Chain A
Amino acid sequence: MISKRYIFKRLLLLVPVLFGVATLVFSILHLSPGNPATVVAGQQASAEEIRQVEQRLGLNDPVWVQYGRFMLDAVQLNLGESWVIRKGEPVTSVLRWKFPITLELAVLGQIAGIMFGIPIGIVSAIKQDTITDHLSRVGALSGISIPIFWSGPLVILLFSVSLGWFPTSGRLTQRAYEGGAPQTTGALLVDSLLEGNIIMFIDAAWHLFLPAMVIGIYSMALISRMMRSSMLEVVRQDYIRTAHAKGQGRKITLLKHGLRNALIPVVTVIGIQFGSLLGGAVLTETVFNIRGIGMLLVDAITDGDYPIIQGTVLLFALVFTMVNLIVDLTYSYLDPRIEQ
């Protein structure tokens, strides 16, 4: 059982992490060259117009006042308004509708990675140094080595262009839904289920399959390798030998006694991987033309939309730390000694 004190301690540590990230983002944006007021006012704007924009955005205030205001607003979840991309729209509102798209993609990729990675790792460990093990090793190394920006177009060429099994881009077959996509959570699979629209659910899953698999391949490769080595480590432990000596079958011993202990390092990889999947979503979204938070971030950096950049990075940091917290809590569940 995980103690409340442990959870509270971990939650408390989120405060310095978010403070550190917010400070880092603020400093990096202020060290980057260029005047944001010029970006907002436009390249053709006069000096007077630029001065007015600076005044309106508070860019004329001393830097420490700007820092204090940014931190105070961030604490109140007020991340300001978009300067360029969605001019005047609150950043929280922009992120509210963009983030579920990326999260849906990352979660699907992670599920694919776990669903294939763990069984492949276990089979490789059980059948160590056989042809199955060698094949899985080659597959895993290929998965780790091939970058998304290369595997993505290849997968599109094969499954969409040549075979025509999956769509090349987007999240829905737009013509099929004249009323537009539902906007309950922002995640299409969830929204279509909430509406009881099975056809839309299947359509969304059909569109998301390829991008999720492309993201999942890398995750699967890493998880399967970690699962294999961790399982092989556990197999050599005394308690496994004891279970064998008492007459328990090899596979049952491995799955019943070995798997839980072998999962601890794998859970770490899954947690760290999730952060990478969010980062990888930037590339995947670009390749598959999915307008999630990754593409939003790229656009914001290109256009110099500082509030969007700050909000997106803070959101990524929050999600990453929350995933790490969940990973830590899972450790304690898998091995209660860790809490001590």
Chain B
Amino acid sequence: MRSTEVATGTGLATAVRRLATAGGAGVVVGLVALAGLTLDGTLRAATETTFAVGALLLGFGVLGWSGSVMAGRGIENMQRYMDTGSDWTETDSRRAMARISGFGVGVMLAGSLATVLL
């Protein structure tokens, strides 16, 4: 019981850390992109574009994540059954998609922060 709790806690912490790292990277990239886009046009257009690109990444990541959860096991089994293993696993896919989602949220945050602060 205790070990399960510890394991769950560790898993959750790792997942949160993974999301936070990707989100942080997203904020940094988002701010850089925002600065670059502002030089080329208005701040309003730059924030809109940055936020929309972030939302695009978030949408893609969330869809990919749920797709991995829904069909991941089936794809793994199919690879095993057809003997066409490509090292693709449901867990890896889920983690990658979570990172993309976190990154997207970071970029969106950067766009929103700029609107609020400037």
Contacts and interface: CB of A to CB of B under 8 A. Distances in A.
Interface of A: 10, 13, 16-17, 19-28, 30-31, 62-64, 67, 324, 328
24 contacts: A10-B70, A16-B63, A17-B66, A19-B62, A20-B59, A20-B60, A20-B66, A23-B55, A23-B58, A23-B59, A24-B56, A27-B52, A27-B56, A28-B52, A28-B56, A30-B51, A30-B52, A31-B56, A62-B112, A62-B115, A63-B48, A63-B112, A63-B115, A64-B112
A24 B60 contact: yes
B49 interface: yes
Contacts of B48: 30, 63
B63 A64 contact: no
A62 B59 contact: no
Contacts of B65: 16, 20
Interface in B17-53: 47-49, 51-53
Interface residues on B, range: 20 to 34
Contacts of A23: 55-56, 58-59, 62
B69 A13 contact: yes
A67 B62 contact: no
Contact of A27 (B47, B55, B67): B55
Interface of B: 47-49, 51-56, 58-63, 65-67, 69-70, 108, 111-112, 115-116
A169 B47 CA distance: 47
Contacts, number: 76
A63 B59 contact: no
A24 B59 contact: yes
Give the secondary structure class of A's interface. helix
Nearest to B69: A13
A98 B85 CA distance: 44
Nearest to B58: A23
Closest 4 CB pairs of A and B: A24-B59, A20-B62, A23-B59, A27-B55
- Of B48, B51, B69, the most chain A CB neighbours within 10 A belong to B51
Contacts of A24: 55-56, 59-60, 63
A13 B70 CA distance: 8
Contact of B51 (A13, A67, A328): A67
Contacts of B59: 20-27
Nearest to B78: A265
A324 B66 CA distance: 13
A17 B64 CA distance: 9
A63 B53 CA distance: 12
A22 B59 CA distance: 8
Contacts of A20: 58-63, 65-66
A312 to B, nearest CB: 17
Given A17-B66, A324-B70, A31 B58 contact: no
Contacts of B116: 62
A24 B55 CA distance: 7
Contacts of A328: 70
A10 B74 CA distance: 14
Given A13-B70, A31-B49, A324-B70, A67 B63 contact: no
A67 B60 CA distance: 16
Contacts of B58: 20, 23, 27
Contacts of A67: 51, 55, 108
B66 A27 contact: no
Given A13-B70, A16-B65, A19-B62, A64 B51 contact: yes
Contacts of A21: 59, 63
A216 B65 CA distance: 32
Contacts of B67: 17
Contacts of B53: 27, 31
Contacts of A28: 52, 56
A22 B61 CA distance: 13
B56 A64 contact: no
Given A62-B47, A62-B112, A64-B115, A17 B52 contact: no
B66 A64 contact: no
A328 B112 CA distance: 39
- Of B60, B61, B63, the most chain A CB neighbours within 10 A belong to B63
Given A31-B53, A324-B70, 11 more contacts: A13-B70, A20-B58, A20-B60, A23-B55, A26-B52, A27-B59, A30-B51, A62-B116, A64-B112, A67-B55, A67-B108
